[in-house]
Structure 1
């Protein structure tokens, strides 16, 4: 039997620690329920995948983003960064965490169409 798949699209970066963290709270909770999770970071959210950046994101009452991001990756979550968004911000692939991939709209469309559910932050 094929696993359920959830796609999460996040557009919030380090300017709002709570909204930047919540997608990863949902992602890791779903992973613990044996769901495949695909996370797309778009707009300012792409900065969250820069090496060292997540360590500075802590929202009151939530697990620190670095811990959630590490758990997400360890549980084989798929992390995609919007290619135009990282280009706009001058982020190169050697600056991002291991396991992150760059993708454009075609990949996002394919993932969305094959998922049971999609959540946007």
Structure 2
């Protein structure tokens, strides 16, 4: 990510149990990317399931594109996707179960990203 561009961080804490709250961070992040804003999504709590291979394929909130489509676009456009390591461990999700492009991170990484961003939103 460029130092001269603005950055926004979205923290997603919901998975398929709440498709709308799982999808909105990706809608906003891809919109930010289209506006030349660097976008970071951090998955925490049940949101970590979104980075599990095949999981996002069945998540679709009415009125929005399918989550899998948004997730693929986000990563293709250079978005950073962090997945909370303690949350993964709690849900017994192994690193090998994650989609390509997902990066495991802990509190310090999340804090650094939040401090360097213009704004942070939590869903």
Structure 1 residues 38-60: Cα deviation after superposition (integer angstroms, max 9, x where no partner): 11000000001101011100111
* Aligned counterparts of 1:39 and 1:48: Cα–Cα separation in 2: 11
Shift of 1:9: 0.6
> Which among 49, 52, 55 is matched to residue 53 of structure 1?
55
Q: CA RMSD in A?
A: 0.8
> Which among 16, 25, 37 is matched to residue 18 of structure 2?
16
> Which among 1, 8, 12 is matched to residue 6 of structure 1?
8
Partner of 2:54: helix, strand, or coil?
coil
* Aligned counterparts of 2:20 and 2:115: Cα–Cα separation in 1: 28
Is 1:82 paired with 2:89? no
The TM-score normalised by the length of structure 2 is: 0.96
The answer for unaligned runs of 5 or more in structure 1 is none
- 1:98 maps to 100
User: How many residue pairs get matched?
Assistant: 121
Shift of 1:93: 1.0
The answer for unaligned runs of 5 or more in structure 2 is none
